[in-house]
Amino acid sequence: MAFRVCSRAVRTWVRVSGGSGPAGGRDASLCLRTGQSALDAHGRQTTGCSFNPVCFITSDAFLNRLAKGKVAELDDSGYPHPCSLPPDGGEQLSLLLRPPDQPETSKVLKVAVVGSPNAGKSTLSNQLLGRKVFAVSNKVHTTRSKTLGVLTEDDTQIVLLDTPGLTTKSKVKRHNLETSLLSDPWSTVKEADLLLVMVDVADKWACEKLDFEVLKVLAQHPEVPAVLVLNKTDLVKDKSKLLDVTALLTCGVVNGQKMKVRSAVRQPRAGRRPPVGDAPQPPTESAPPDGQQPGALKSQQGWPHFRDVFMVSSVDPEDVGALKRYLVVEAKPGPWEYHSEVLTDQTPEEVCVNIVRAKLLEYLHQEVPYTMTQSIEFWRENENGELEISVKLHAKKEAHMKMVIGTAGQMVARIAREAGEDLSSLFLKEVKLRLSVKLKN
């Protein structure tokens, strides 16, 4: 096991069962391997390590591969600027049909980003792509169907499969949501070479147990390697808790090895349960059991077969850059699926509708934004090269319509302005977005 060392201090004691090795002269600012000693400020050897998010727990073999390639460099200045989305639907279709312009040494990796609703999946995907391709809001179920983003750098193509938050049939029926929220995450996992399992560590309930739907996905697709991504670490005040959460959600096992974690900041009081890493551990076979029964999963708190663990803030460029380098290294030789200029498989119109819906979710309360629909009235480029878009919002009730319009039209104007700015940065073109509201018949 090894620990990636970055910023914002977290002091912990970590022991890995069976870990051993000589103390080396490696720079402790990069990694601290199992069994190595660290030096304190006075030059004395210690057995503790100080590290901060972004942090990942991974194997020595992977770190060796990471150190050999250009991806190990911390400077991302050499990366090309991210692609933009053509504002013309015909041009986007033509781009999607264009043969891949791959080099002879092409590599590819299909990554499915899964997790509970509002875990930060779309935000992370957008940051990895460098463009706001996927709709984002602070409400659950902003992403309503599977969407695809393409990150191409040098000889490597990463295909990001952004999925709706895993939910249940009863919740879909109760909130009158699309059935795609049930089927798309499961179908996406079948296509993936790697799973990124997102967990919101700012949510105390998410820190206590992996969501049952997530566990079902992991148990039914044991052949797909999975990486645990603890997101929103910037919102956690006591960073020492992150390793306790890691031990709990991994059952104290990462990459087939047992880990023990005890906080060096605050010891457990009498009567409290012992640290998770010191609890009895499950078997550590390299491959998870196939077809595990749902009844057994319900009593399971974590998944003991994660290959690696990342602790990140998806809004922090340094954190996202480290995860991006990890994905590039994980890519395997193979043909690209898309031309290097492709950013997403969505049409410009679909992206527009999704961004408008996300703004409605952001600013409207309760069920109002979930009951509204949108339709595009016109989409054209004027003589000044500006893109003019008109979208009609259909409200279910007159009270909902008044809420969308707001006092003196301020709410609808704000939504139009902010959605237009997002579209401008995606199309690299000035966008004039006009929104109107109509009562559904």
Q: Confirm if 128 and 320 have CB atoms less than 8 A apart.
A: yes
What number of CA atoms fall less than 13 Å from residue 381's CA on the CB side? 10
Binned average pLDDT, 10 residues per bin, the chain of 441 residues: 36 39 32 33 40 54 53 42 86 94 94 86 90 74 69 94 59 46 59 91 86 86 92 88 90 84 43 45 43 64 91 90 93 95 93 90 80 91 94 91 91 94 94 93 74
Residues present in the chain in total: 441
Confidence (pLDDT) at 142: 52
What is the H or E stretch that residue 67 is in?
helix 60-68
CA 218 – CA 223 distance, rounded (Å): 9
pTM: 0.74
Q: What is the pLDDT of residue 2?
A: 36
Per-residue model confidence (pLDDT) at position 382: 92
Distances (CA, A) of 260 to 16, 55, 111, 281, 317: 6, 17, 29, 10, 30
Other Cβ atoms within 10 Å of 432 Cβ, number: 15
Structure-token match 């029964």, residue found: 293
CA angle 189, 194, 197 (to 5 degrees): 75
Q: What is the pLDDT of residue 327?
A: 95
DSSP code, position 334? -
Distance between CA atoms of 109 and 89, rounded to whole angstroms? 27
Helix, strand, or coil here: 205? helix
Q: Which helix (H) or strand (E) holds 294?
A: helix 294-298
